[in-house]
Amino acid sequence: MEGELLPTLVIGLIVMLLLGLAFNHFLPLLLNQEKVIPRGSFGWPLAGETLNFLSPHASTSLGSFLEDHISRYGKIFKTHLFCTPTIVSCDQELNHFILQNEEKLFQCSYPKPIHGILGKSSMLVVVGETHRRFRNLALTMVSTTRSRPGYLNDIETTVTRTFRSWKGKGRVNFCEEARKFTFSVIVKQVLGLSQDEPDTARILEDFLTFMKGLISFPLYVQGTPYAKAVKARGRISLTVKAVMEQRRRGNGVGCCSNKKGDFLDVLLSVSNLTEEEKVSFVLDLLLGGYETTSILMSMAVYFLAQSPLALEKIKSEHQNIRANMQKDDYLNLEDYKKMEFTQHVISEALRCGNIVKFVHRKALRDVRFKEHLIPSGWKVLPVLSAVHLNSSLHGGALQFNPWRWEGQNQATCKKFTPFGGGTRLCPGSELAKVETAIFLHHLVLNFRWRMDCEDLPMAYPYVEFPRGLPLQIDQIS
Ligand code: HEM
């Protein structure tokens, strides 16, 4: 009996050991299998599905790549983009989860060529503590500019100058006009420079080169748009540095101080950023603040041209605001607050137009979301437009319908994220809306317009009107 017990014990121990090993090794795998990497396809070696993903389509639609993949794999799928395995999310809840978990589970991660062109200190490139410092400054910038007495007046003066230059014209290239306008506004807000100063013209010229490079193939060879853009960035940096230096000297100290208390003064007084970082920050604001806002204005004008009822309604809102004002009075904050329907038009233009289609993130560790596993290190792309164009979230999603925003609280609205979300939420959203509202105020009161030829907003995926939105305009006497 004793002779049988020993081998039985040994066998028992070995079985337990093996079971233990199996438990340790395989149970996590079994558990992981409950959370699986979303379905999808990696496409071609290296290139993956990048070309299909980037193929142009109307920004008011999902595009065939997303439509096809959603119908095959669902709203969350895997693919291979920008040389990296990627999870694409067209799902409202996952998008919200990603944006709200910045720096915890996910991190902003733009492709390397963008770093080359924006610079290593750009807000879209920096993470962690450095990003927090920039972010605080961006929020200070917003509150400083908003509380400056001339805030609305400066914008309105730029609007009226733009319209004065339209006098006698029967046709304008609207995108170009909007770009000039938003550029003048942001240069004034950030650097305190007016439209006629030589520095403004110089920065604008370099910016146009810069923008072309930002969307070009990233090949750093003499003469390519990418190389030209990197050089243009260098020149803009020099101009911005000179403007900062000039202000520093002008400010002086004590009784000679000439401080304006505007954003540039705040920036110069900050001690936790290097000179290079300050210049880079100014560039971020100029870049972030001008192209996107000009496209928003173009969207609003484009949709209003096709929606006579909305145009009638917005016009009567602005006529009512004007009814209590003298001809040359400037708009004040109270007037702005009365522009309720205008805000609905702006929101709807943002929802239908999808100026920023998606943002770039990566998973910092294995993330489990519902039945899905997002592996550590993978790229993660929350597609903002997919939520905006989802008819189960926005009834009749493909229709431009500003009335849908009546009574909705956008601040808590997860299904509307044109400005991103979480700790990377766009700091310029309010400025973009104010500029667009004041511009629309004068536009609807002074002009009738119709499109001169077919044009529509295209996602390349950066959004652009291929023909520049040519308009026939009539001044209302
Ligand atoms: C219609 C106009 C605009 C749209 C649609 C827009 C959209 C966005 C979006 C989606 C993001 C988030 C990017 C991400 O999460 O990776 C963002 C960030 C940013 N935007 Fe805007 N933006 C607009 C106007 C502006 C303006 C007027 C400014 C400057 C005054 C600005 C400056 C920035 C900056 C600096 C960031 C980076 C924020 C950070 O990383 O913390 N944007 N914008």
Do the beta carbons of residue 349 and residue 299 sit within 8 Å? yes
> Which sign does the torsion angle of CA 304, 306, 309, 315 carry?
positive
- Residues forming the annotated binding site for heme? 426
Cα–ligand 1 centroid distance for 472 (angstroms) = 31
SS3 content of the chain, % helix, strand, coil (to 5): 55, 10, 30
Is 173 a domain residue? yes
Index of the ligand 1 atom closest to the CA of residue 285: 29
- Same-domain status, 367 and 476: no
What value does the mean pLDDT of the chain take? 88
Is the residue at 1 inside a domain?
no
Does the beta carbon of 285 lie inside 6 Å of ligand 1?
Answer: yes
Buried-state track 106-138, b at ≥16 Cβ within 10 A, e below 16: bbbbbeebeebbbbebbbbbbeeeebebbbebb
Q: What percent of the chain has pLDDT over 90?
A: 65
DSSP state of 75: S
User: What is the per-residue pLDDT for 216?
Assistant: 63
Of all protein residues, the one whose alpha carbon is nearest to atom 18 of ligand 1 is: 426
Average pLDDT over residues 137-166: 90
Asked if residue 284 has its Cβ within 6 Å of ligand 1, the reply is yes
Asked if residue 477 and residue 377 are part of one domain, the reply reads no
Residues 96 and 155 in one domain: no
Residue 254 predicted with pLDDT over 90: no
Nearest CA to ligand 1 atom 9: 419
Residue 15 has pLDDT above 50, yes or no: no
Asked whether residue 402 is domain-assigned, the answer is no
Q: How confident is the model at residue 13 (pLDDT cuts 50, 70, 90)?
A: very low
Identify whether 403 is part of a domain. Answer: no
Domain count, the chain: 2
SS3 per residue for 124-157: CCCCHHHHHHHHHHHHHHHHHHHHCCCHHHHHHH
Q: Assess if residue 166 is contained within a domain.
A: yes
Strands (E), 150-189: 171-173
Q: Residue 16 — pLDDT band, cuts 50, 70, 90?
A: very low
286 neighbors 203 (Cβ within 8 angstroms) = yes
Residue 30 clears pLDDT 70, i.e. is over it: no
Q: How far apart are CA 234 and CA 312, in angstroms?
A: 47
pLDDT score for 258: 62
Nearest atom, ligand 1, residue 359 CA: 16
Closest residue (by CA) to atom 16 of ligand 1? 359
Instruction: Decide which of 242 and 2 is more confident.
Output: 242
75 touches ligand 1 (CB under 6 Å): no
- Burial of residue 331 (CB within 10 Å: 0-12, 13-18, 19+) is buried
Average pLDDT over every residue of 223-228? 82
DSSP string, 262-296: SHHHHHHH-SSS-HHHHHHHHHHHHHHHHHHHHHH
Same domain? For 460 and 475 the reply is yes
> Is 435's C-beta closer than 6 angstroms to any atom of ligand 1?
no
Question: Mean per-residue pLDDT for 218-229?
Answer: 76
C-alpha 339/C-alpha 309 separation (Å) is 17
H/E/C letters for each residue in 16-67?
HHHHHHHHHHHHHHHHHHHCECCCECCCECCCECHHHHCCCEECCCCCHHHH
3-class SS of residue 405: helix
Residue ranges making up the domain that contains 303:
121-192+260-354+409-477
Tracing tokens 């071609």 back to the chain, one arrives at 44
Q: What is the mean pLDDT of residues 325-343?
A: 93
Q: Is 266 exposed, middle or buried (0-12, 13-18, 19+ CB in 10 A)?
A: middle
Whether 29 has a pLDDT exceeding 50, the answer reads: no
Whether 422 and 463 map to the same domain: the answer is: yes
Q: Are residues 334 and 271 in the same domain?
A: yes
Pairwise CA distance, residues 136 & 140, whole Å: 6
CATH classification at residue 279: 1.10.630.10
- Cβ(346) – ligand 1 distance below 6 Å: no
294 and 150 inside one domain: yes
| C-beta separation of 374 from 363 below 8 A | yes
Nearest CA to ligand 1 atom 32: 288
Q: Which of 104-108, 197-201, 209-213 has the lowest mean pLDDT?
A: 209-213
Highest mean pLDDT among 20-24, 243-247, 431-435: 431-435
For residue 178 and ligand 1, the question of a CB distance below 6 A is answered with no
Which residue has the CA at smallest separation from atom 36 of ligand 1? 426
Residue keyed to tokens 């026939």: 472
Q: Which atom of ligand 1 is nearest to the CA of 295?
A: 1
Greater pLDDT, 192 or 442: 442
Of all residues in the chain, the percent with pLDDT exceeding 70 is 89
Does the beta carbon of 352 lie inside 6 Å of ligand 1?
no
Higher-pLDDT residue of 20 and 70 is 70
Does residue 385 contact residue 340 with C-beta atoms inside 8 Å? no
Read off the amino acid at residue 204.
L
Q: Could you tell me if 463 and 457 are in contact, meaning their C-beta atoms sit under 8 angstroms apart? A: yes
Q: What is the pLDDT of residue 118?
A: 84
Residue 58 C-beta-side C-alpha neighbours within 13 Å: 9
- For the residues 127-140, what does the mean pLDDT come to? 93
Q: What is the pLDDT of residues 412-463, one digit of tens each?
A: 688 999 999 999 999 999 999 999 999 999 999 999 999 999 999 999 888 9
- Is residue 257 over pLDDT 90? no
Q: Is residue 239 part of a domain?
A: no
CB atoms closer than 10 angstroms to residue 265? 17
Atom of ligand 1 nearest to the CA of 292: 2
Claim to verify: residue 381 and residue 430 sit in the same structural domain: no
Quick check: CB of 296 below 6 Å from ligand 1?
Answer: yes
**Range with the poorest average pLDDT among 278-287, 382-391, 396-405, 416-425:** 278-287
**Residues forming beta bridges with residue 173, ordered by sequence position:** 470
Q: Are residues 314 and 370 in the same domain?
A: no
5 inside domain: no
- Among protein residues, the one whose CA lies closest to atom 6 of ligand 1: 419
Question: Is the same domain home to 151 and 102?
Answer: no
CB atoms within 10 A of CB 408: 13
How many A from CA of 67 to the centre of ligand 1? 27
Testing ligand 1's pocket by substitution, the residue of 143, 207, 387, 426 carrying the most ligand atoms inside 8 A of its CB is 426
Task: Return the pLDDT at 296.
Answer: 98
Clarify whether residues 161 and 273 are in a common domain: yes
Q: Is residue 350 part of a domain?
A: yes
Kindly report, residue by residue over 142-154, the tens digit of the pLDDT.
888 888 878 899 9
Q: Which residues contact 451 (CB under 8 A, 6 or more apart)?
A: 302, 305, 469, 470, 471, 472
Tokens of 204: 């604008």
Is the CB of residue 107 below 6 angstroms from any atom belonging to ligand 1? no
Q: What is the CATH number of the domain that holds 384?
A: 3.30.43.20
The string of pLDDT tens digits covering residues 34-72 is: 679 999 999 888 889 999 999 999 999 999 999 999 999
Give the pLDDT score at 28: 39
The answer to whether residues 336 and 435 belong to one domain is yes
